[in-house]
Chain A
Amino acid sequence: MADIKLPQNDDQQKRAAELAGAGSIYKYNHDIGLPLIDTPGPEDKNQPDWTLKIFTKLLSIRTNIQAIYEKTGLKFQEPKPVRDIPKLIEVLKSDGSVSDYFAPDLGFVAGPDNRAKAVSDYVDKVFVDRDKDNKGSAPLPDMATVWDSDKTFAYNFLAGPNPNQVERYRLETRPADFDITSLDLGSLPEFGGDSMARAIGEGRVYLVDRSDLRALFGNLPNAPAPNASPRVFKTEISGEWKYIYAPYVAFALPPGGKHILPIAIQCGAKAEGHQVYTPRDGYTWKMARACMLAAHNNHHEVVTHLGLTHLLVDPICMATRLRLHTSHPIYKLLSPHFEGTAAVNVGARTGLILPERSVDRLVGSKIEMDYPYLGGQRLGYSFRANFPKLRQNTRGTDNATLLPNYPYREDSALIWDAIHNWVSDYVSIWYRSEADIRADFELQAWANEINDIGKVKDFCLTGGGVQGRDDLIDILTMTIFTAGPQHAAVNFPQGKEMIFVPANPLAGYGQAPKGLGHSEADFLGILPPLDVAVQTWSILSLLAGVNNTRLGDYRGAFNWHPVSEAYRLKFRVNLGVVEGNINSANNYRRSVYGLDYVHLLPSRIPASVNI
């Protein structure tokens, strides 16, 4: 108990001096246009269990990479990664890069061998180290067998890597350039007798608008090649053309249906010759679906994943280290939710998201284009308007009758409530009155730091600071939700839904369809080449393959304080109930989609952003 105190009840001079020490360790870095921790401090180190998981996963990844070299005939620029004792010793003694040792950049594959001749190439030339029982270091995900249906395509937007982007299609707010009101809905399979007017009027039509990627077009680092339009560029490193699309997709719920289905895709602006395609359009439709997914996944990696989890939590972590003394009750609560965050973010900023490194390689946009776009999206993101239930209400996706079987919405609500209850209990221990909040000058400085210096929009209500216990409970719940469940929801699909490239390409390698009558070859031409598919497998396997720390586990931080520990145990019990409810729901989802939604099972949610 003596270990936790509010500042107003403690030796203020001593606390101030110790906090000043934190100020000498933690500095902001603005290299990519956002306020981020420059160098991790002693509290930000990953624990040894994390290091062990990284090592174990990379060992497994190398096994498949070696099998790819030995069995597929793909000729990468770089030699096969092999065992090397001196380099291994460096890695084991922390002097070498573990990922460079086990799963280095393989370079590119030149020539026509690099293009898939059939979708099966993405199985046979990527998931090589698997036996007849689908075991080994590269098991094929379920998505590889169901990816090609329209139902699975829709599932990607409700339970895939970027699951909170759907909004209701409303006549008064729909994008002016995406008019589907005259679509012959009744002619589509499963919509017999239905009409757009009726479906829109009943609120059964939804869309995802990725025309926001047009913001990237103006950020091209260099003039595009002479024959390229503004949204086309050639990657210097591969020689392959990569394309960015700014498409729209509409979905509708058939009358009495169990799930929405895609009904229309437009791959860009009408003024540029893009038309609306429907599921009747054969391979042209499949190309449109691939363009939509490439854009959606480009947005996922740059904005939803990096910008709105990693880089949103970062300034909150920074302010916690700078403004809350280590004996502050909110520091005690939040610190486990920042375990490894600064370390992984600095690692990303100085490696993963540098030009011509992993993210640049895999997603459609170039990194120089991403920084200003990412900055705008992250700085414009309202912390409070995106509390999940409020966001879904605003977007018109909260009605389970009009939009049934939306796994992310259903599971995130359960998790949010469990966190909210735990935080409410915890706050009630340390803040007995509203006056306690007002008198907590460290807490007030913390909130203002995040809002004003960390540039987290709407972290504070008008007037600044923390305005009461309910306000504190809300912002703590959102902080923990973002660090744990939200990051889990957008990170771990990389290893399940995104790792099989045809199901979820991260970039397009062919022009968006124009006209009708496209072929399978045109469709394959949009999908990433095989070297990119291999690198995608390698990187996403690592990012989704390290699951460390667990929501509700505070590494014994509250063992010494019986009341806090009792509430924590209650939280764990509640998470156990949520786990059971999600497992039950998954039995039904399996019957609807042929897939489970496992990313928000509490037993799989880390406490912090650490990978």
Chain B
Amino acid sequence: MSQLSRRAFLGASITTVSTTAFASPLLDFLSSDSAAAEVFGILQTHLQISSADRHLVQPFLRRLRTPGLHTESPATFQAWLNRAPGYEVNLAAYVLEEFAVASNFLAVQGGHESKLKILPS
């Protein structure tokens, strides 16, 4: 799987997501390889997540698809994907914030644990 650029990621999402019935296509898109690549890119860029932890991305994305396990609505997320003002910061920061609460990243960062994992929801 090649890692897509953010532009490609956004383009894919825009064509996939319907503005009137966004939920299902969006959730489908979030299951895709291109979404995984984009999210991993964000984690790698900002948190220096190693390639060995790439397998955490799919379970993390599953959380982002699960109602009640994340802070933003699909509509907001879709707006960023549609390049709403500030989308670049919001998209990356949203992924980082959600990853911090979905994983044991903070425990690893604090030296309490050594192996990164997604926490049970």
Q: Are B89 and A55 touching (Cβ within 8 A)?
A: no
Q: Are B106 and A83 touching (Cβ within 8 A)?
A: no
Residues of A near B90 (CB, < 8 A) are 83
Q: Are B106 and A56 touching (Cβ within 8 A)?
A: no
Q: Are B101 and A85 touching (Cβ within 8 A)?
A: no
> Is residue A463 within 8 Å, beta carbon to beta carbon, of the partner chain?
no
> Is residue A272 within 8 Å, beta carbon to beta carbon, of the partner chain?
no
Contact of B110 among A48, A59, A82 (CB under 8 A): A48
CB distance from A132 to the nearest CB of B (A): 15
> Is residue A93 within 8 Å, beta carbon to beta carbon, of the partner chain?
yes
User: What per-residue 1/0 map shows which CB atoms of A240-252 lie under 8 Å from chain B?
Assistant: 0000000000000
Report the separation of the CA atoms of residues A55 and B104 in the bound assembly, to the nearest whole angstrom.
12
Q: Are A48 and B112 touching (Cβ within 8 A)?
A: yes
Chief secondary structure at chain B's binding surface: helix
> Is residue A72 within 8 Å, beta carbon to beta carbon, of the partner chain?
no
> Is residue B97 within 8 Å, beta carbon to beta carbon, of the partner chain?
yes
Q: Are B93 and A48 touching (Cβ within 8 A)?
A: no
> Is residue B94 within 8 Å, beta carbon to beta carbon, of the partner chain?
yes
CB distance from B121 to the nearest CB of A (A): 12
User: What per-residue 1/0 map shows which CB atoms of B93-108 lie under 8 Å from chain A?
Assistant: 1101100110011110
User: What per-residue 1/0 map shows which CB atoms of A30-69 lie under 8 Å from chain B?
Assistant: 0000000000000000011001100110011001000000
Report the separation of the CA atoms of residues A48 and B100 in the bound assembly, to the nearest whole angstrom.
12
Question: Chain A interface: which size bin?
Answer: 10 to 19
Q: Are A48 and B101 touching (Cβ within 8 A)?
A: no
Name A539-593 residues within 8 Å CB distance of B.
none
Residues of B near A82 (CB, < 8 A) are 86, 89
Report the separation of the CA atoms of residues A94 and B109 in the bound assembly, to the nearest whole angstrom.
8
Report the separation of the CA atoms of residues A48 and B103 in the bound assembly, to the nearest whole angstrom.
11
Q: Are A94 and B107 touching (Cβ within 8 A)?
A: no
Q: Are B93 and A85 touching (Cβ within 8 A)?
A: yes
Q: Are A56 and B101 touching (Cβ within 8 A)?
A: yes
Q: Are B71 and A63 touching (Cβ within 8 A)?
A: yes
Report the separation of the CA atoms of residues A82 and B93 in the bound assembly, to the nearest whole angstrom.
10
Q: Are A55 and B71 touching (Cβ within 8 A)?
A: no
> Is residue A84 within 8 Å, beta carbon to beta carbon, of the partner chain?
yes
Report the separation of the CA atoms of residues A63 and B68 in the bound assembly, to the nearest whole angstrom.
13
Name B10-36 residues within 8 Å CB distance of A.
none
Residues of A near B92 (CB, < 8 A) are 85
Residues of A near B71 (CB, < 8 A) are 59-60, 63, 137
Residues of A near B53 (CB, < 8 A) are none
Nearest chain B residue, comparing its CB with the CB of A62: B71
Report the separation of the CA atoms of residues A137 and B46 in the bound assembly, to the nearest whole angstrom.
27
Contact of B101 among A55, A83, A93 (CB under 8 A): A55
Residues of B near A119 (CB, < 8 A) are none
- How many residues on the B side are at the interface (Cβ–Cβ under 8 A)? 22
Nearest chain A residue, comparing its CB with the CB of B92: A85
Q: Are A88 and B110 touching (Cβ within 8 A)?
A: no
Nearest chain B residue, comparing its CB with the CB of A135: B68
Residues of B near A48 (CB, < 8 A) are 104, 106-107, 110, 112-113
Q: Are B105 and A92 touching (Cβ within 8 A)?
A: yes
Q: Are A47 and B112 touching (Cβ within 8 A)?
A: yes
CB distance from A49 to the nearest CB of B (A): 8
With A48-B104, A59-B71, A92-B47 known as contacts, the answer to whether A83 contacts B110 (CB < 8 A) is: no
Report the separation of the CA atoms of residues A93 and B100 in the bound assembly, to the nearest whole angstrom.
11
Residues of A near B97 (CB, < 8 A) are 59, 83, 88
> Is residue A89 within 8 Å, beta carbon to beta carbon, of the partner chain?
yes
Report the separation of the CA atoms of residues A85 and B94 in the bound assembly, to the nearest whole angstrom.
9
Q: Are A84 and B112 touching (Cβ within 8 A)?
A: no
Report the separation of the CA atoms of residues A88 and B110 in the bound assembly, to the nearest whole angstrom.
16
Residues of B near A88 (CB, < 8 A) are 93, 96-97
CB distance from A553 to the nearest CB of B (A): 17
Report the separation of the CA atoms of residues A92 and B93 in the bound assembly, to the nearest whole angstrom.
11
Name B32-52 residues within 8 Å CB distance of A.
46-47
Q: Are A92 and B101 touching (Cβ within 8 A)?
A: no
Q: Are A92 and B100 touching (Cβ within 8 A)?
A: yes
Report the separation of the CA atoms of residues A83 and B85 in the bound assembly, to the nearest whole angstrom.
13
User: What per-residue 1/0 map shows which CB atoms of B59-91 lie under 8 Å from chain A?
Assistant: 000000000000100000000000000100110
CB distance from A547 to the nearest CB of B (A): 16
Q: Which of A59, A60, A137 lies at the interface centre, i.e. has the most chain B CB atoms within 10 A of its CB?
A: A59
Report the separation of the CA atoms of residues A88 and B90 in the bound assembly, to the nearest whole angstrom.
11
With A52-B107, A60-B71 known as contacts, the answer to whether A85 contacts B113 (CB < 8 A) is: no
The residues of A with any CB-CB pair to B shorter than 8 Å are: 47-48, 51-52, 55-56, 59-60, 63, 82-85, 88-89, 92-94, 137
- 13 cross-chain CB contacts under 8 A: A47-B112, A48-B106, A51-B106, A51-B107, A52-B119, A59-B101, A60-B71, A83-B97, A85-B93, A88-B93, A88-B96, A94-B109, A137-B71
**Given A55-B100, A63-B71, list of 8 further CB < 8 A pairs?**
A51-B106, A52-B104, A52-B107, A55-B106, A84-B89, A84-B93, A89-B96, A92-B47
